[in-house]
Amino acid sequence: MNDRVNKPAAIVLPPIPAKRYFTIGEVSELCGVKPHVLRYWEQEFTQLKPVKRRGNRRYYQHHEVLLIRRIRELLYEQGFTISGARNKLDGSNEPEQPEIPEPPSISLDEEGIEKVRAELLDILQVLRPEAVAQA
């Protein structure tokens, strides 16, 4: 007996037509998700906010259709939980940037300050020769 669970094959979704708004039925067909699932996802994913008009009818915009396809991919194809998909979309799963260490504090005496000043004047002379004469 085979103990492995068969993952559903990735469905090829139809191209998104060049329209401004899509009804929930159209989005359902474009994304391969039933309308009641879309309504549930609206509660779970704060980024998903379709425009509501006449009698609370939902109208999704192009970017929301893309977001729904991304949510579908995370949940159905990559096996994320809803909270995992929410975190992934919020960006909290991104690797943290390594901290840049602060440069060591240097206390310069008179001699050190003069060396730094001389080096800065040399740099300034390379960049703008006429400015050194004024300094």
3-class SS at 51?
A: strand
- Judged against a pLDDT cut of 80, whether residue 41 lies above it is answered with yes
User: Using CB atoms within 10 A of its CB, is residue 85 exposed (0-12), middle (13-18) or buried (19+)?
Assistant: buried
**Distances from the Cα of 93 to the Cαs of 58, 67, 133, in angstroms?**
30, 17, 55
Report phi then psi at 68, rounded to 5. -65, -40
> What domains can be seen in the chain, in order of their start residue?
21-90 (1.10.1660.10)
**Distances from the Cα of 3 to the Cαs of 6, 80, 81, in angstroms?**
9, 21, 22
Which has the higher per-residue pLDDT, 124 or 68?
68
- Determine the average pLDDT of the residues in 53-78: 93
- Judged against a pLDDT cut of 90, whether residue 91 lies above it is answered with no
Which has the higher per-residue pLDDT, 1 or 31?
31
- Judged against a pLDDT cut of 70, whether residue 47 lies above it is answered with yes
Average pLDDT of the chain to the nearest whole number = 82
- Determine the average pLDDT of the residues in 115-121: 86
Look at residues 50, 39, 41 and name the one whose alpha carbon lies nearest to residue 76: 41
Q: What is the pLDDT of residue 4?
A: 47
**DSSP state letters, 66-127:** HHHHHHHIIIIIS---HHHHHHHHHTTTSPPPPPPPPPPP----HHHHHHHHHHHHHHHHHH
Look at residues 21, 11, 74 and name the one whose alpha carbon lies nearest to residue 45: 74
**Model's pTM, two decimal places?**
0.61
Look at residues 111, 77, 74, 115 and name the one whose alpha carbon lies nearest to residue 93: 74
